[in-house]
Amino acid sequence: MGMRVSQHASGVEVEVYEGVESVLLPCEISADVSRSSTAAVWSHKELIVPTVHVRLHSGDEFERQNNRYTDRTSMRADALQTGDLSLTLRNPTVSDSGTYTCTTRRFGQDQTKIHVQLKVTEPPPAWTKVLPGVLVPVVLLAAGFGVFMYYRYKIMKSRKDYPLEIVEVTQEEKSVLLPFKFTEDLPQDVRVEWKHRNKKVHEYQSNQNQPLLQDQDHRDRTEMNEDPLRAKDLSLTLKDPQLSDHGGYTCTVYNKGGDILLHKVVSLNMTVPEVQMVETVKGVQSVVLPFKAEVRNPEDVTVEWKHKDKKVHEYQRGRNQSHIQGRSEMKTEQINTGDLSLTLKDLQLTDSGVYTCTVCNKDGHMLLQKVVTLSVRDYQAGVVEVTQGQKSVLMPFKITDELPPEVKVQWRLTHPEDKMVLLYDSSQKQPLSQDQVYGGRTEMPDNALKNKDLSLTLKDLQLTDSGVYTCTVCNKDGLMLLQKSVTLSVRVPEEQVKGKVKESVVLPFKAEVSNPEDVTVEWKHKDKKVHEYQRGRNQSHIQGRSEMKKEQINTGDLSLTLKDLQPTDSGVYTCTVCNKDEDILLQKVFSLRVKESLRDRFFMVQQEGSTGQ
C-alpha cells in the first residue's frame, strides 16, 4: 500500500506505511478565502509545541515549528493564492500518527479549519509480499510446503501485537519510561530487543541484560527490570532524554528459534521547554538570553544560537565566534558549568524576534534546544492626565524610525481590561476593527506613517476611559517593530461647598435614573459600605447614621444624609448606581472633611465628580 485516502464525516483519513518517502495531507479551500487570509497554519494538537508548518504570503515561517518536523514539511509556493494548502510530510514514522489541523487566519482570527487523520503503520513482513509468488510451487511440493505453511501459520497465530502507545517528555526530565506490560506466559530462553531507528537500544537474553550489544548513543542510558519475565514487565527506562531520542521504539520478543512472540511500538515525543520571553529597551548596554542545562562532555558539544534562521553565535570545542560583529558573547567557563546563555550587546529594534539555541554532540546529533523570544522596545511609557468634561485627549506617540510601507498599528486598552481601541492598516483607508465602546471616538493623524506620528486622539472622555493604552507596530508578517504604553488618568472637576451644621450633612447627588425601582444605589466610605438602597428598601451600615428617602430616589435625588457627624467621617465617599444586571450606570465621588472648633462643628464638602455610562 503506497497511500490510502478516505473521506469521513469527521474529516479526511490518510493511511500510509512507515518507510515511504513522503505523504500528502490534503487541504483545499476557496481561493477567495485563502487570498484574504494572512496565514495558513498546520498543527498537531497532541504535541506540547503543536505547530507543524506556517505559511505566510511572504513565504514559509519556521520560528514556531516543532523541532521534530524540521526539514520534513513543505507547502506549495502559491498555496495562499490558489487555496491548495495541502502539506507534504517527508519520511513519515509511526510516531507521526494523529490528527492534523489546517487553519487559515486573518490578523490572528481563525477563518477555516480542516482536520486530517494520519495513520502510519509498519509495513507487513516481507514473506507476505512474496507469498502469492510461491503458491504455484505448492502444487509441486504439496506435502513439504504444506507442513511449512502449517508451521508458519501456528507461529503467526501465536504472535501478539500490542497497540501503539505515545509518550511525551520534555528535554529537562532526567528519565522517561517506555511502557510494555504483558499478560502471556513466556519461556525463560526468549530474547527481548528494543530498537530505535533500526539501532539496537537494549537487549535482554539468557536472564540478563546485554549492554555490549547496544548502540553507542544509548550506552549507559537504558535500564529494564531485574527480572522482567517474572514481573511481566518489559518496560524500558531511558535516561537523560535528548531531542535525537524522539521517534518510534520497537520492542520485540523472540523465541530461541527466532520467531516473534510479542511485538509493541512506543512513540516517544521529545519536546523543548515552553518559549521564554525576554523584554528590554533599545539603548541598554546588554541583555541575557538565558539557557541553563546539564551538558555531558561539554568539550565535545557544538552550541549554535540563531535569530530568524541566521547564525548569531557559535561555540565549538572551546572556541567562540560571533556572527553579528562582536555584539554577541558566550563564556567558555560558563559553558563548562552548563550555562549556555547568550549575551547581546548594543541592542537594536531589529534584534527583536525568536532566538533558538541548539546543542549537538560531536556526531551532529541534537541533544538540547531552547527558544527565547526577545522584545526590544523603543519608547518608554508615558502618563497623560485630563479632567472629565474636556472634549478630547491626545495620547502621544511620535517616532524617529523609518518604517516599512506595509505595517499595522494597533492601539489597545491593556489595563484594567483588554479592549481593541483602534487597528490601523497602512494598506487600508479605514480602521479595520475596534471595540464598540470606542466607536466614533478615536482618531489618528492623516499620513501617520509619513509624518511619523502614531498618536491617538480619544474623544468624549469618561471616567471609565482611565487605564493603560498600548500601541504596537508590526510588519506585514506580524513581527513587532515598535511599542509604547501610555497611562491615561481621567479626573473629575473639583468643586468646593462650605457650610455649618450641628448634627448632619448632605452629600448631594441628583441624576436622571430610568426605572428607579430596578436600580441598586450603594454609598461607600473608604471601601466600606455606608448605605444601600435596593428595590425600594433602605439599609444603613453605620448604625442608623445614614439616610436616603425612597420618594426622593424616585425623583432622581440620590443624595445621602449623614447624621451625628464625627471627625472619623472625613474621607472619600463614592456613590455607585447599578441596574438589575449589575452594570454600572452612574458614579459620583465626594471628599468630606469634618472639622471641630471650640464653638461649632464645621464641615467642607469637596465634590470630586460623577460619571454616567
**Boundary (domain end) residue, out of 464, 491, 518:** 491
pLDDT value of residue 284: 67
Q: What is the mean pLDDT of the chain?
A: 80
Which residues fall within 8 angstroms of residue 267, CB to CB, at 6 or more apart? 93, 94, 95, 97, 164, 165, 166, 167, 247, 248, 249
**Cβ-count burial of 471 within 10 angstroms (0-12 exposed, 13-18 middle, 19+ buried)?**
buried
Tell whether 70 and 152 lie within a shared domain. Answer: no
pLDDT band at 191; cut points 50, 70, 90:
very high
The answer to whether the CB of 611 falls within 8 A of the CB of 493 is no
- Asked if the model's pLDDT at residue 44 lies above 80, the reply is yes
Task: Determine, yes or no, domain membership for 506.
Answer: yes
Task: Determine, yes or no, domain membership for 167.
Answer: yes
Tell whether 215 and 286 lie within a shared domain. Answer: no
CA distance 246 to 207: 29
CA distance 553 to 513: 9
Average pLDDT over residues 228-250: 87
What are phi and psi for residue 425, nearest 5 degrees? -115, 125
pLDDT value of residue 152: 43
Question: What is the tally of structural domains in the chain?
Answer: 6
Read off the CATH number of the domain in which 451 is found.
Answer: 2.60.40.10
Tell whether 339 and 431 lie within a shared domain. Answer: no
CA distance 53 to 41: 6
Name the percent of the chain lying above pLDDT 90. Answer: 20
pLDDT digits (tens, 9 = 90+) for 498-537: 434 457 888 888 877 777 888 889 999 888 899 999 878 8
Task: Determine, yes or no, domain membership for 377.
Answer: no
Q: Which of 472, 470, 275, 291 is nearest to 374 (CA)?
A: 275
Tell whether 176 and 194 lie within a shared domain. Answer: yes
Give the type of residue at 42.
Answer: W
Task: Determine, yes or no, domain membership for 373.
Answer: no
pLDDT digits (tens, 9 = 90+) for 477-504: 776 677 788 888 887 665 443 434 457 8
Written as one string, the DSSP assignment of 113-155 is EEEEEEEEEPPPPHHHHHHHHHSHHHHHSHHHHHHHHHHHHHH
**Boundary (domain end) residue, out of 307, 331, 366:** 366
Task: Determine, yes or no, domain membership for 376.
Answer: no
Peptide bond into 445 cis (omega under 30): no
Tell whether 551 and 459 lie within a shared domain. Answer: no
pLDDT value of residue 380: 62
Tell whether 139 and 201 lie within a shared domain. Answer: no
Tell whether 54 and 147 lie within a shared domain. Answer: no
Tell whether 346 and 456 lie within a shared domain. Answer: no
Written as one string, the DSSP assignment of 478-529 is S-EEEEEEEEEEEEPPPEEEEEE-SSEEEE--B---SSGGG-EEEEEETTEE
Task: Determine, yes or no, domain membership for 392.
Answer: yes
pLDDT value of residue 13: 87
pLDDT value of residue 607: 42
Q: Where are the alpha helices (DSSP H) in 390-496?
A: none
Tell whether 404 and 457 lie within a shared domain. Answer: yes
Tell whether 111 and 134 lie within a shared domain. Answer: no
Q: Where are the alpha helices (DSSP H) in 287-422?
A: 332-335
Q: Between 143 and 18, where is the model more confident?
A: 18
Enclosing domain of residue 465? 382-491
pLDDT band at 253; cut points 50, 70, 90:
very high
Tell whether 110 and 137 lie within a shared domain. Answer: no
Neighbours of 494 (CB within 10 A): 11
- Asked if the model's pLDDT at residue 551 lies above 90, the reply is no
Residue 34, H or E segment: helix 31-36
pLDDT digits (tens, 9 = 90+) for 300-359: 889 999 987 789 999 988 889 999 999 999 988 888 888 899 999 988 777 888 888 888
pLDDT value of residue 135: 45
pLDDT digits (tens, 9 = 90+) for 466-482: 888 988 888 877 766 77
Task: Determine, yes or no, domain membership for 375.
Answer: no
Tell whether 282 and 345 lie within a shared domain. Answer: yes
The conformation of residue 398, written as its DSSP 8-state character, comes to B
CA distance 438 to 425: 17
**Boundary (domain end) residue, out of 271, 306, 330:** 271
Handedness of CA 195, 200, 202, 207 (dihedral sign): positive
Task: Determine, yes or no, domain membership for 481.
Answer: yes
CA distance 147 to 135: 14
pLDDT value of residue 194: 92
